[in-house]
Amino acid sequence: MPLNYARRLTASTRSQRENVHLGAGLAFVAGATNAGAFLAVGRYTSHMTGVVSSMADALVLGDRAMLFTGIGALGAFVAGAATTAITVNAARQRGLSSAFALPLLFEAALLLVFGVVGVQLDHIHTIFVSATVALLCFTMGLQNAVITKISQSEIRTTHVTGIVTDIGIELGKLLFVNRAGVAERVVADHSRLRLLTLLLGAFFTGGVLGAAGFQAIGYIATVPIALVLVALAAVPVFDDFRSLPRP
């Protein structure tokens, strides 16, 4: 990955091209993490709809363990998003170019922790599942907040419900037959449809490779996922480090 290209991916001043490429990369990471997490602990961790639904079911059925796991997952996702907001705003006030890169590098570090420590703690099933779900939900909150802020809420990458809904809307516009003489015509946004399809494809591809990797080599499959994030985020962080005043 050329350095200037990597530098632009998480830059504050950016174009739609950078948003699309970063969004696709993060959707791939989210899909891979989500699929790998399911094989590891039997839970999806990238979207909160299922988490909140499982909390409601657990409350009715009296399943306290599931309820507390859901509360921890929801709280971790919110905490991850809040951490991104704090990190980005603090970095901006200090004039750092790595404002959006720092949360992604933090996410990479947490995924490496999951991959390395997971092998050692897998036998402590009850505690391990709750801690793993919370950790991965925190990373997904970090990531979703980054792309939401950087794209001004145009792109989200950790769940596909909104993406699929928007694809349906644009397809409806595409198939709509405008009546003759109508001034306000319905026109599909082809560039947005391509973007949404790319994000959906990236999430699915990441899920396939993440599941295959975990099935083949276990927790160590998170290492290449983390390296993708490092490739996306390392250059701006290194630039800021080089610009630090020397004693």
Question: Which tens digit of pLDDT belongs to each residue from 20-54?
Answer: 888 899 999 999 988 887 887 777 777 788 888 88
Number of domains in the chain: 1
Q: What is the pLDDT of residues 206-230, one digit of tens each?
A: 999 999 998 888 888 888 899 889 8
Query: How far, in Å, CA of 96 to CA of 89, rounded?
Result: 10
Is residue 80 included in any domain, yes or no? Answer: yes
Q: What is the mean pLDDT of the chain?
A: 85
Distances (CA, A) of 52 to 27, 46, 59, 174: 22, 12, 11, 34
CB neighbourhood size of 3 (10 A): 11
Backbone angles phi, psi at 176, to 5 degrees: -70, 135
DSSP helix, strand, coil percent of the chain (3-state; round to 5): 80, 0, 20
> Structure tokens of 21?
């490429």
Is residue 184 included in any domain, yes or no? Answer: no
In terms of Cβ atoms closer than 10 Å to its own Cβ (0-12, 13-18, 19+), residue 22 is buried
Dihedral of CA 129/131/136/141: which sign?
Answer: positive
Is residue 225 included in any domain, yes or no? Answer: yes
SS (H, E, C) 152-163: CCCCCCCCCHHH
Q: Is 243 helix (H, G, I), strand (E, B) or coil?
A: coil
Report the candidate in 199, 225, 234 with the shortest Cα–Cα distance to residue 20.
199
Is residue 246 included in any domain, yes or no? Answer: no
Is residue 96 included in any domain, yes or no? Answer: yes
Is residue 1 included in any domain, yes or no? Answer: no
Backbone angles phi, psi at 44, to 5 degrees: -90, 140
pLDDT at 122 (0 to 100): 56
Q: Tell me: pLDDT of 126 over 70.
A: no
With contact defined as beta carbons under 8 Å apart, do 35 and 211 qualify? yes
Please tell me the pTM assigned to this model.
0.85
Distances (CA, A) of 102 to 38, 86, 153: 27, 11, 19
Domain that holds residue 138: 7-157+206-236
Is residue 142 included in any domain, yes or no? Answer: yes
With contact defined as beta carbons under 8 Å apart, do 199 and 27 qualify? yes
pLDDT at 119 (0 to 100): 64
Is residue 67 included in any domain, yes or no? Answer: yes
